[in-house]
Structure 1
Amino acid sequence: MVHSPVGIRSIALSFPTIRRTNNYYVEKYPELIAQAEQKGLARMFSLTGTPPANEFDMEMLPYLSDPFRGTIERWVLSHEESSLTLEYCAATDALNAAKLSINDIDLMIVASVWPEQIGFGNAAFLARKLGLVGAAWNLDGTCGSTPVVLQTASALVRAGEYRNVLVVISCSYSRVFDEQDTVSWFLGDGAGAFVVSSMEGNQGILGTKTVHTGALCEVVSAELTKDEQGNSRVRMQTGNGAKALRETAAEFLSICCEGAIASAGVTLEQIDFFLFNTPTAWMTRFCTRLLNINPERTIDLYPLYANIGPVLTVANLYHAAHLGKIHENDLVLIYGSGAAGVASASVMRWGNVALALHPLESSKLAKTVF
């Protein structure tokens, strides 16, 4: 099938102002460090005395002696920040990089993990803040949202329904996990945005494969609680399905990547660069091992950001372009997946994508909290 060229025109990232290294937790919660192997993070990623059963286990094995499971640092929201403030910064930077105004945007699609309001996504609130006149709606694929939103936006532009679609992705794990829950140690916050428009020649999205991740519905759960001021808040907890992450990782990766490559009409060997979401320190090594590709053909951002959910995919694209690892007309494969959501891969021919200035390079507000 021949598609009209539609793809990413610009990309921007936005991060909170607080950087936390592992020392913060070591000094503040020494008793949790001592008991780490009995806590949530260790239970989620553990072999429980059994030998490695698959490629995921094999790559996870070297990290099991580390209470942080390979996490080095993460960026978290301050009291003055929110997912909406991060989304607003990323959205305006993406527009500026594309040399567009908000009046040039026909549609905005927002994926927030998690939104600010209980029961409502961020789309209408962000649209009001940006002054958007056109359409805006939410899309939820949990941590696999980015490839699905890109697929949706590209299809709508290709169909002639909209000209320019602004996609905004955010993750605010620090607001839904308690700091004393060791699972929060491998989580961070952030936002990304990109503009989807018509492209040149044969650039843009060439093929996508998406499947649901119903097998992972028990990995996490949400409950409504009250904070100290009596306000309602959502709190996430790990469930009994963590083992399913290890058992299904290979299947989801293979089905989606092989399906997207076939849909694009190319081969694995023709892909110039691979961008996997990296929610764990060993995910990149797992993906390259399973697909049997050279690790130099991908990038690993986990040491910089920890697990920032669907924003990882946007950050991967940004950093790969910023570091000169992908160039115009390269074939690029992106993959993202999330519990109780979707796993999805897309193959695109990279265009002339404008990059906003990285916020952590330009901001003087960032501070280290030890």
Structure 2
Amino acid sequence: MIYLPVGIRSIAVNFPSIIRTNDYWRENYPDVVATAEQKSLSKVFSPADATPSNKFEQEMTPYLKDPFRGTIERRILSADESSLTLEYGAAKEAIAAAQMSPKDIDLMIVASLWPENILPGNAAFLASQLGLYGAAWNLDSTCSNAMVALQNATALVRTGEYRNVLVVISCTYSRFTDENDTLSWFFGDGAGAFVVAPLRSNQGILSTKIINTSATCGTFYNELTTNAEGKPRMLIRAAKNTNRVLSETAVDYLRECCLGAMIAAGVTLDEIKFFAFNTPTAWYSRLCTEALGIEPERTINLYPHYANIGPMLPIANLYHGVQLGKIHENDLVLVYTIGSVSNAAATVMRWGNVALGSAPVTLANLTVRLPNLVLT
């Protein structure tokens, strides 16, 4: 099937001002660090049996000696930051990079993990801040938010319903974890945005393969509790069997989505120039390269410096892939995401002349170190 050339026109990222390194916990929570192997993060990411039983656990093994499981630093919201402030910064940059104004955007799709209110989501509030006049929708597919939103935006532009669609994604895990819970070491915050619009001939989205991840239901869940002041608070929890479920399904989801998307696009692994795998753990990119049989130099691993930023991972990977010169115009790019209790998704695209938003101040040092992150 021949599709109209539609894809990403611009992309921007926005991260919180606080960079929290492992030393923060060593200095403030030494007892928690000392007993980390009895805490939640270790229970989630340890072999289900005495020896590794699958590829996921084999790649995880070198990190078992590290209580932080490969995380070096993560970006965390300050007291005056929120999902909305992060989304606004990313959205404004993406519109400007595309050389558009808010009046050029006739649809905005917003996926906030999580929004500022239980209901409604952030879309209308963000539209007001940006001065948008078109439609503004909320969407949810957890860590596959970006790819599900991209598929929807692309389809709507191809049908002619809309011409320029702004997709805005945010992740604010730190609001839903306690500092004295080792699971907080695993999470970070951030936001990203991209404009989907018509591109030059033969560029843009070629195919998408999405499958549900119902086998992961019950792994991560939310629990309503109260804080020290007695006020209600939602926290992220992990079930006892989370590692077993994630490790046993990881490779199958990856292969089904990636190979399915490539077959639909009519391309081969050798033709893909860059792979943007979402990296929810330090070893996930290596798991992907080994499972697909590709060279690690064809991807990057951002996890050590961002931790798990959920649905923001593919956007950050694409942004830095361009920044590092790993993605050029007309390159074939494959993006893969895995969302627990939602969907796994792979998209094949031929990269256009994609403009980047400016790098936030907190990315300055990271950009210098990023070449080291090619090693998985």
Q: TM-score, length-normalised on structure 1?
A: 0.96
Letter of the 1:296 counterpart: E
- Offset, 1:239: 1.6
Q: Structure 2: state its 5+ residue gaps.
A: 366-376
- Counterpart of 2:193 in structure 1: which amino acid? A
The alpha carbon displacement at 1:229 in A equals 4.6
Alignment of 1:217-296 (within 5 A): 217-242=217-242, 243-296=244-297
How has the CA–CA distance of structure 1 residues 296 and 239 changed in structure 2, closer, same or farther, with 3 Å as cutoff?
same
| Cα distance in structure 1, aligned partners of 2:170 and 2:232 | 21
Measured against aligned partners, the alpha-carbon deviations of 1:128-181 in whole angstroms (never above 9, x if no partner) come to 211211101111110111111111100100110100000000000000111111
Distance 1:56 1:223 in 2: 27
CA distance in 1, matches of 2:224, 2:146: 26
Shift of 1:226: 3.2
User: For residues 217 and 44 of structure 2, what CA distance do their matches in structure 1 show?
Assistant: 14
Q: Secondary structure of 1:319's partner?
A: helix
- The question of 1:207 aligning with 2:169 is answered no
**RMSD of Structure 2 on Structure 1 (CA):** 1.4
The answer as to whether partners of 2:17 and 2:362 remain within 8 angstroms in 1 is no
What amino acid is the match of 2:254? L
Q: Tell me, what secondary structure is at the counterpart of 1:12? A: strand
1:1-370 matches, cutoff 5 A:
1-242=1-242, 243-360=244-361
Q: Which runs of 5+ in 1 are unaligned?
A: 365-370
Question: Structure 1: how far apart are the matches of 2:295 and 2:49?
Answer: 31
Contact preservation (8 Å) 2:43, 2:240: no
Shift in CA distance, 252/309, structure 1 to aligned 2, threshold 3 Å: same
Task: Tell me, in whole angstroms, the C-alpha distance in 2 between the residues paired with 1:45 and 1:296.
Answer: 26
Q: Say whether the 8 Å CA contact 1:224–1:234 is kept in structure 2.
A: yes
Deviation at 1:362, TM superposition (A): 7.7
How many percent identity over aligned positions? 60
State the shift of 1:249 in Å. 0.3
Output one character per residue of 1:274-328: Cα deviation in whole Å (capped at 9) or x when no partner.
1100010001111000000011111111122111001010000000011110100
Residue 121 of structure 1 aligns to a residue whose secondary structure is coil
Contact 1:218–1:240 (8 Å) recurs in 2: no
TM-score for both structures, normalised by structure 2: 0.94
